[in-house]
Amino acid sequence: MRRSKGNRKTRETDISVKLDLDGSGGAKVSTGIGFLDHMISALAHHGHFDLELRCKGDLEVDDHHTTEDCALVLGKAMNDALGDKKGIARFGCACAPMDESLARAVVDLSGRPYAGVKLGLKREFIGETGKEISAENMTHFIRSLAVSGMMTVHVDVLKGENDHHKAEAAFKALALALRKAVRLLPGAARSRTPSTKGVL
């Protein structure tokens, strides 16, 4: 039962999350930022995670707090759902295309937070006017997810022209890599911690 739920309430955001790592990819996401909803939903769908995430943020200020805090809550939920991490594959690597764009993601559920992210976005904003997200916050979301999820993440857009396509390819690649990393191994490996140190 690799599930978790949580809440985070500050003066800037009020967030609730429910996560099942062994789901079917169903997502109910509402952050007030349309493109962010789209990316988080893609992460859940292609990662085969069942996810409910609701956020009321100070969008009258800007999109930063909502984006950052949603990533922090989601990353923590993932780490909590993994428990002691016994029996997991730990590592995941995947590429994903989106039309002319191609992205690669590599994940290590190491307990050591680090994110190397190069999306190559050129526009200032992505998404529908009034519900758009700052392009820089696409990178910030992945970095915040890595920090609270206690994972090492490298995401690179290898080529592309359209910023929407580049961002979506990156999130889909990350989802596929996470799906591989969280999978449970068969047989005797199921009872082992995937580290020569004996702990993650």
Q: Convert the pLDDT of each residue in 59-116 to its tens digit.
A: 999 999 999 999 999 999 999 999 999 999 999 999 999 999 999 999 999 999 999 9
Do 161 and 89 contact (CB within 8 A), yes or no?
no
In the chain, what are the domain boundaries? 3-191
109: left (phi over 0), alpha (psi -120 to 50) or beta: beta
Name the nearest CA neighbour of 147 among 176, 184, 110: 110
Does the structure show a pLDDT above 90 at 165?
yes
The domain over range 3-191 is classified in CATH as 3.30.230.40: yes
Dihedral (CA of 145, 18, 109, 160) sign: negative
